[in-house]
Structure 1
Amino acid sequence: MDETGGVSYKHVLVPTDGSKAAKRATEQAVELVKESNGTVHALYVMDMGDASFVAIPSDIKETRQRLEKKGRAFVNEIEEQAEESGVNCVAVVKSGIPENEIVEYVHENDVDLVVMGRRGRSDPDKPLIGSTTKRVLGQTDIPVRVV
């Protein structure tokens, strides 16, 4: 708790897919961390399982490079926004199953809070809460703020 009686978060994770919801989550995460002089962790997970369905084996390396470049751009946006607000930021691009990598990152980096969009780019029928968000909620015991 901080001096005002509110909860203070030192390490806040923002998983991103570059969606509008992820950008709104970033705004909230940066404000929360600014108050506590903490660190925002920006994470993009390359879902190579999806890539293997759309790319022929000889194109996997190229697909991976393209996804990594896209992910780097997404986390760099968060990093720039954090730096403009005077907030520390760690920007990471990983490969794997998004919800598993998010939960693993939480535990490996002592994350206090996850702030994520309620649905991202990969939810075409736009449910109230996206599948990745729903699975993260079910797999972690730390607070998750859904934006």
Structure 2
Amino acid sequence: MDDAIDATDFDDILVPTDGSKSAREGAKQAIRFAKRNGATLHVLYAMDMGDADYVAVPSDIAQTRNRLEKKGQTFVAEIEDLATDADVPCVTTVVSNTPVEAIREYVDENDIDLVVMGKRGRSDPDKPLIGSITNRVVGSLDVPVFTA
């Protein structure tokens, strides 16, 4: 029996991004998949507010949230521009959650067929094979995950 994945089964492809070079490479591959298969590209950035826990003043938390949201909007817009140039339909989302949880929830809530992501992101650029977030995503999803 042939267990190969039929790429034509992918109607909705998710690209999580952290703005890293690896994430952009994953996005380029996802755009190629989407173009070939007439799929919609979904681009997701997760604002991990856990880093803001040390902030004691609520106004500082709001400023941190705004800064992270602007950064996320910039990252998803970069990939949206690539998708638009390739004439691939694209949906962008910025959420407040940890990256792994955000990816899991987005996959479940949006019937994602394939996740395409970089092997490693900003927090672990020197790792030789696969980053910690990518590793956890690969191990926690029931849909195929392609790493670039």
* Matching residue of 2:145: 144
* Matching residue of 2:40: 39
1:93-112 equivalence runs, <5 A: 93-112=94-113
Superposed CA offset, 1:92-131 (max 9, x none)? 0000111011011001111110000111001265252111
* Matching residue of 1:133: 134
Q: Distance in 1 between matches of 2:52 and 2:118?
A: 22
How far 1:50 sits from its partner (Å)? 1.7
TM-score normalised by length of structure 1: 0.91
* Matching residue of 2:7: 7
Matched, 1:24 2:28: no
Letter in 2 for 1:92: T
The alignment yields a C-alpha RMSD, in angstroms, of 1.5
* Matching residue of 1:76: 77
How far 1:56 sits from its partner (Å)? 3.7
TM-score normalised by length of structure 2: 0.90
Q: Distance in 2 between matches of 1:51 and 1:119?
A: 23
Unaligned runs of 5+ in 1: none
* Matching residue of 2:53: 52
Letter in 2 for 1:109: N
Letter in 1 for 2:80: E
How far 1:51 sits from its partner (Å)? 2.4
Q: Distance in 2 between matches of 1:135 and 1:74?
A: 22
Matched residue count: 142
Contact kept? 2:22, 2:119, Cα under 8 Å = yes
Q: Distance in 2 between matches of 1:6 and 1:31?
A: 15
Q: Distance in 2 between matches of 1:109 and 1:7?
A: 18
* Matching residue of 1:114: 115
